[in-house]
């Protein structure tokens, strides 16, 4: 009996060994994969996308985009329409002062020879000033004093928020390479020699090699850089689209059964009131978000501040919504990617709606090779040329911001008489949600406002998002 068991175990181990040694073959050609003798084409199993630092997974699907509140301003710019959003990741919280100070510190350290890079990224702390209020302490202390380090950063323009997201992408991907032993930490990087994901992928970054380099099967004892096909890098951090932000804030996943949404939400939580109706008994009746209850009431009376805050408060205050996201209906309003148009919901497509596309491509040198990186260490991009896309069916020019929304007269796009009858142009971007200084109306996820991409407010912050690759 024991002998039979040993024979069985030996047979099993032999099968496992043979399976492990057997080369994976192409199902259409029969050629071996991952075998230098058969050309060296590589393919590996992909375990799935890891969740990047700070992110929460948001499972995609269809929802009714647009305001569920009365259109009290009669803008008619957010009527209801059903759309579908692909799965994505969203920051659990708003970006805090601590997060942004880390970014500023890095810029100042790396670009010591280019101080304008640091200066351009500085938030506008003067956004706190009010002609009829004493807010100078916030001008001086809000960004840098440790008392406010976990409060949301404000005074950041759309352009600055977008640059922060680019920086974060590179730092996270660099961390992944260091974690995997492919690179060593290098605090001596300076100027354009800092790690950039795009520059690394095209061979324009030379860092300190780690102990676990990627083996190049086509070169005896050779190594190579990580490739996109390896599945190691994460997709870009970026601002969420308006549809993504609204979908995540609405969080219908907590009020749906099968394919039915049983309760139409007004806010990012269930119920028809701003007070907590669920959870622990001690929390019942407390305010769900940081907002302005009424004229002159920023937070209630002393000893019983109804929302616990007079200006902003910590980014993890109150209760998360059903996706696990904090402060989607209050604290600060938040930038999204979209360029503002009053009729966006009428023009946009059903799947992943977004207005703001400007299609580009890497800039090539005179030999047709990707051009050298710029002074920030990034690959240079340029608009796609009309001559290269004139026979395409899905787009025929680089700038598609005004598609279906601008009349063309004598070859020029006619805008909304910017500065005469409108403040809408291609620099106007959407921001969503209520802030500490807004009435409850703006807490409804469907409401929308806009601001010039170069401007900022003491009531406006941001959070980042990331695309989900593969299955939803």
> What letter does residue 234 receive in the DSSP assignment?
P
**What per-residue confidence (pLDDT) applies to 11?**
46
The tens digit of pLDDT for each residue in 88-120 reads: 999 999 999 999 999 999 999 999 999 999 999
Give the mean pLDDT of 60-79. Answer: 82
What does residue 37 show for φ and ψ, rounded to 5 degrees? -70, -20
Fold of 55-107+143-168+232-357+400-467: 3.90.1580
Q: How many residues are listed for the chain in this entry?
A: 472
Give the mean pLDDT of 66-82. Answer: 80
Give the mean pLDDT of 41-56. Answer: 93
pLDDT tops 50 at residue 13: no
More confident residue, 273 or 225: 225
Q: Which of the given ranges, 70-74, 163-167, 306-310, 388-392, has the highest pLDDT on average?
A: 163-167
Contact in structure between 448 and 339 (CB atoms under 8 Å) = no
The tens digit of pLDDT for each residue in 206-242 reads: 889 999 999 999 998 899 999 999 999 999 999 999 9
Give the mean pLDDT of 175-185. Answer: 96
Min mean pLDDT across 4-13, 266-275, 448-457 is at 4-13
pLDDT tops 90 at residue 152: yes
Instruction: List, in sequence order, every beta strand (DSSP E) within 66-115.
Output: 81-85, 88-91
Contact in structure between 227 and 233 (CB atoms under 8 Å) = no
Q: How remote is the C-alpha of 157 from its chain's centroid?
A: 15
Contact in structure between 436 and 306 (CB atoms under 8 Å) = no
Rounded CA Rg of the chain: 26
**What per-residue confidence (pLDDT) applies to 287?**
83
Contact in structure between 428 and 289 (CB atoms under 8 Å) = no
pLDDT tops 80 at residue 66: yes
**What per-residue confidence (pLDDT) applies to 21?**
45
Residue 4 pLDDT grade (very low, low, confident, very high; cuts 50, 70, 90): low
């Amino acid at each position: 009996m024991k002998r039979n068991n040993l024979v069985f175990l030996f047979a099993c181990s032999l099968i496992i060994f043979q399976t492990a040694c057997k080369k994976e073959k192409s199902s259409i050609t029969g050629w071996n994969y991952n075998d230098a003798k058969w050309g060296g084409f590589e393919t590996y199993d992909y375990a799935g996308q890891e969740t990047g630092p700070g992110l929460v997974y948001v499972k995609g699907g269809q929802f009714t985009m647009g305001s569920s509140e009365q259109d009290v301003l009669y803008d008619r710019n957010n009527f209801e329409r059903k759309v579908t959003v692909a799965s994505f990741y969203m920051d659990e919280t708003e970006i805090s002062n601590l997060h942004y100070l880390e970014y500023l510190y890095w810029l100042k350290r790396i670009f010591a020879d280019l101080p304008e890079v640091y200066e351009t990224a500085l938030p506008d702390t003067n956004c706190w000033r009010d002609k009829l209020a004493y807010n100078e302490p916030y001008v001086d202390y809000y960004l840098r004093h440790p008392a406010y380090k976990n409060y949301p950063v404000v005074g950041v323009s759309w352009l600055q928020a977008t640059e922060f997201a680019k920086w974060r992408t590179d730092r996270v991907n660099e961390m992944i390479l260091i974690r995997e032993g492919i690179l060593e930490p290098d605090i001596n990087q300076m100027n354009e020699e800092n790690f950039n994901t795009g520059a690394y992928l095209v061979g324009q970054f030379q860092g300190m090699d780690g102990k676990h380099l990627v083996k190049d099967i086509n070169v005896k004892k050779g190594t190579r850089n990580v490739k996109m096909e390896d599945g190691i890098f994460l997709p870009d951090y970026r601002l969420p689209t308006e549809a993504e932000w609204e979908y995540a804030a609405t969080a219908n996943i907590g009020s749906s059964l099968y394919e039915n949404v049983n309760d139409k939400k007004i806010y990012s939580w269930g119920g028809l009131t701003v007070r907590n109706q669920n959870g622990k008994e001690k929390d019942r009746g407390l305010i769900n978000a940081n907002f302005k209850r009424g004229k002159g009431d920023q937070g209630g009376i002393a000893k019983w501040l109804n929302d616990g805050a007079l200006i902003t408060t910590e980014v993890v205050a109150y209760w998360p919504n059903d996706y696990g996201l904090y402060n989607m209906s209050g604290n600060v309003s938040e930038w999204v990617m979209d360029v503002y148009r009053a009729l966006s919901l009428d023009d946009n497509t059903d799947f992943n709606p977004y207005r703001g596309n400007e299609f580009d491509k890497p800039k090539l040198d005179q030999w047709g090779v990707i051009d050298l990186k710029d002074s920030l260490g990034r690959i240079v991009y340029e608009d796609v040329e009309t001559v290269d896309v004139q026979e395409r069916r899905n787009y025929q020019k680089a700038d598609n911001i005004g598609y279906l929304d601008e009349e063309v007269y004598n070859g020029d796009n006619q805008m909304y008489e910017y500065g005469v009858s409108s403040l809408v142009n291609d620099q106007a971007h959407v921001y969503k949600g209520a802030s500490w200084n807004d009435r409850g109306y703006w807490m409804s996820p469907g409401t929308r406002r806009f601001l010039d991409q170069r401007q900022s407010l003491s009531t406006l912050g941001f959070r980042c998002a990331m695309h989900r690759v593969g299955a939803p």
